[in-house]
Amino acid sequence: MKFKKITLILGLAMSISQLMAQSPVLMPGNVDGITIAGQDVTFKAGNIYGKVAVYSPSVIRIRLDKKALGRDFSYAVIAQPQQTKTSITQNDENITILTDSLKAVIYKKPFRIAYYTAGGQLINQDEPGLTTGWVGEEVTTYKTMMPDERFIGLGEKTGNLDRKGNAYTNWNSDTFGYAVDMDPIYSTIPFYIGIHHNLNYGVFMDNTYQSDFNFGASNNRFSSFTAKGGEMNYYFIYNKNVAGIIQSYTGLTGRMKMPPLWSLGYQQNRYSYYPDTEVLRIAQTLREKQIPCDGITLDIHYMDHYQLFTWDKQRFPNPPELTSKLNKLGFKLTVIVDPGIKVQKGAPAYESGAKDSVFIQYPDKTFYTGQVWPGWCNFTDFTSEKGRAWWRKQVKFFADNGVSGIWNDMNEISTWGQKMPSNVLFDFDGQQTSHLQAHNVYGLEMIRSSYEGAREHFKERPFILTRSGYAGLQRYSAIWTGDNRAEDNHMLLGVRLMNSLGLSGVSFTGMDVGGFTGGASTALFTRWMQIGAFIPYYRNHTQLNTKSSEPWTYGEDALEISRNFINFRYKLLPYMYSNFYESTQTGMPVMRSLAIGNTFDGKIYDPAFQNQFMFGNAFLIAPFESTKEYGKIYLPQGEWYNLYNDEQLHGMQEVIKPLDMGHLPVFVKESSIIPMQSLVQTTAEAPTDTLSLHIFNGKTANEFVLYEDDGKSYNYEKSDFNKRTISFDPTHHKITIGEAAGNFVSKFKAVKLVLHGFAGLGQMKVNSKAIKISQGYYTMIEPVNNIDPQGANGGRRDAAQVQELSFGLSNQKQVLDY
């Protein structure tokens, strides 16, 4: 009987084992075969191989696969692990990894992992019982959803700021005129931030296969992230605030370079401006109507039958002469490029690319051919150094013709039919792979090649723009949100897309102001132009066979309002350029979701307020549909000033403001420091040598780093810049302009200090020397003649009484006591 029981038990065990082996879901099993070396833990579990590595005190990397871990390679991550003080201990139940910021516990029976603060508070954990599992080649990590957890980021994704309850797919797609809830669209950034219980963390899954992120869609148990192939490879990031998480993420994937100053100006685009006389007419009209502008863009009609690296000689008989004339008017020219090289015997680009075998191929070694604008095309393999080198060489064509910017389009890859075969092969830098793994990274490597080619051949910093990309795209390019619609909901969607891109490490973002498809109403165009003045890449763009969308085509009121807000942007260039510098140092975006500074304020996630954003750290922008007569605005914690009249408002409240055509609701945060310059029509024109420095009184201390360089060369990389910290200390009644650092001579020789909310001051001491303060009416943004009636005291209703004083700007520290 005993023998029969033993036999029965063994039989049951074998049956269970066989069932598990036959299960369509492969689970990790128990951890064994552990090796601890420095700050890394490698192990073998029942069914998987794994490695957990400390990348920095706040970043831990996890790699898991069904087979031994392969090549450690990434197009996104450029950082190497930091030497980090790390304690790793283990017992029979778990392995504990401890840094000064983060604790990770690897549970052995079965494998799963949890993350805690150094003080022991649970931040995030694998969902027990599910952990990480494979269904065929698809691998998913499941995370326990914490009570009231929120999820933000994930790059260019439609939907709400808080992504809870939704799921998203990453597969770069050409989505002309996309719906406001369409997913996926053009780019892939598989990085999100989770928020709960006054904690926040980031997860970046670095896997270029199609991926899916689920934040509680169709289940109430877990959030998850999935890749359709390859290994599970993700980075867990912890910081006390969202800004720190963004800094750590961009520490991994890189940060933007300083852009050319002209690219921060207004840019006038259309699909398409041609011939060259029309381009010059647009440029001259902008100057005649005194609309500041720095850029004009040419779409595909500049090319000879859409063939890359050609000009249509009928429409553009002398490109160098055109770019020279534009430069004299203060304009830079950007041209579009697509990845497809037309299959045409005798065409230089095709013959050269075919000879060098730089195109992606089928397994039988024939070039893949797909149809796009020029007809049947081959496509450069940007995942090979040979392909990138070939493209870099071609970029000289644009340098020789005086072009200043390269707009990379159709790089998802887009082809007619939108169904590139899976068996197309890519080099993938020495480890050949299929389209399934290379697709999402193709756009990233194209803009890398364009940037590197421009850096090699252009005399000055280039402007690079893309429609598609992958994590790390900020290293090379700006991005815009693609072929949107001239609709109010698309205008607001564009704001959310850019806010989400900012949360995902991409600072230089834009949308087609006015809408690409369809035709905007006068009210919609006007509102969109106002919002555009406060976004990083300010581009007016509309498509073929639509109404012209230059500011003067919508009537005198729309023209005056548009010009007024463009003027304000140009006055803000010192503020903007300094904020771009901050992006190069910390990854902090210029356009900031309120979730960055007010993470645990539930109001900012309300759909009624989720479109609001900060422009730098000073301006709160509240966008609304063009049809709204009143707007409900939420002011977060702190004190706020109305931009137009210095009305002071308490934070942590909702306010209702009337909306009119001439005003976009904009507020200034207390203690803000805002440097401004005189109005110019182009960044090629020097402003006056007086810096207007606006200080808004408040209860909290604040600092602003004012940054200058020549705006065009790479000399700033060799310390040819001028940088100083300006601080406001209300407790000790001091404003300090710090000592200048760097070798660049500032364009400013004098300061006009404009004090907002400092009632009753008669004088101020500058380095102990008393200077009298004058009082008068002042407005940061000029009123609009036909919109703003005369107010009391002969001033306009949106002009505020301020205190002013002027003094010379020194390279040495200057302390102002009040």
Report the SS3 class of residue 614: strand
Cα–Cα distance for residue pair 108/131, rounded to 1 Å: 12
Query: Which of 475, 694, 429, 731 is CA-nearest to residue 587?
Result: 475
Cα separation, 687 vs 328, in Å, equals 17
DSSP 211-258: EEEESSTT-SSEEEEEESSS-EEEEEEEESSHHHHHHHHHHHH--PPP
81: exposed, middle or buried (Cβ count in 10 Å: 0-12, 13-18, 19+): middle
Q: Find the angle CA(552)-CA(553)-CA(558) to the nearest 5 degrees.
A: 60
What letter would DSSP give residue 740? P
Distance of alpha carbon 395 from alpha carbon 451, whole angstroms: 9
Between CA 99 and CA 113 the distance in angstroms is: 16
Dist. CA 711–CA 684, nearest whole Å: 10
- Omega before residue 113 within 30° of 0, cis: no
Asked about 138 being catalytic, the answer comes back as no
Phi first, then psi, for residue 547 (nearest 5°) are -60, 140
Query: In this structure, what token pair is assigned to residue 427?
Result: 């080099």
* Residue type at 675 in one-letter notation: P
Query: At 723, is the secondary structure helix, strand, or coil?
Result: strand
Element at 570 (helix H, strand E): helix 556-571
- d(CA 770, CA 646) in angstroms, rounded, equals 27
Backbone angles phi and psi of 27, in degrees to 5: -105, 160
Pairing verdict, β 639-642 and 232-239: unpaired
Which string of DSSP letters, residue by residue, matches 755-770? Answer: EES-TT--EEEETTEE
Q: In this structure, are residues 35 and 43 in contact, taking their beta carbons and an 8 Å threshold?
A: yes
Residues 148/154/159/164 CA torsion (nearest 10 deg): -20
Select which of 206, 276, 409, 550 is catalytic: 409
N-term to C-term CA, the chain: 98
Q: For the residues of 403-464, what is the DSSP string, one character each?
A: --EEEE-STTT--TTS---TT-EE-TTTS-EEHHHHHHHHHHHHHHHHHHHHHHH-SSPPEE
Beta bridge partner(s), residue 735: 728, 816
Residue with tokens 């799963």: 112
Whether residue 668 contacts residue 674, with contact meaning beta carbons closer than 8 Å, is answered with yes
Distance separating alpha carbons of residues 172 and 468, to the nearest angstrom? 7
Residue found under tokens 């080099």: 427
Q: Are residues 719 and 708 in contact, defined by beta-carbon separation less than 8 angstroms?
A: no
* Token pair for 183: 């997913």
Q: Which residues of 579-588 are buried (b: 16+ CB within 10 A; e: fewer)?
A: bbbbbbebbb
> Could you identify the residue written with the tokens 């029509």?
681
Q: Spot the catalytic one: 156, 412, 560, 710.
A: 412
- 452 counts as catalytic: no
For the question of residue 488 being annotated catalytic, the response is: no
In the set 183, 206, 427, 483, the catalytic residue is 483
Q: What are 216's two structure tokens?
A: 């509680």
The CA–CA distances, whole Å, from 198 to 121, 201, 593, 780 equal 11, 10, 18, 37
Give CA–CA dist 204/186, Å, rounded: 19
Residue with tokens 């300006």: 726
Residues 208, 211, 216: CA angle, nearest 5 degrees: 150
Give residues with Cβ within 8 angstroms of 797, minimum separation 6: 644, 645, 783, 788, 789, 790, 791
Half-sphere exposure of 46 (CA within 13 A, CB side): 15
Active site residues: 409, 412, 483
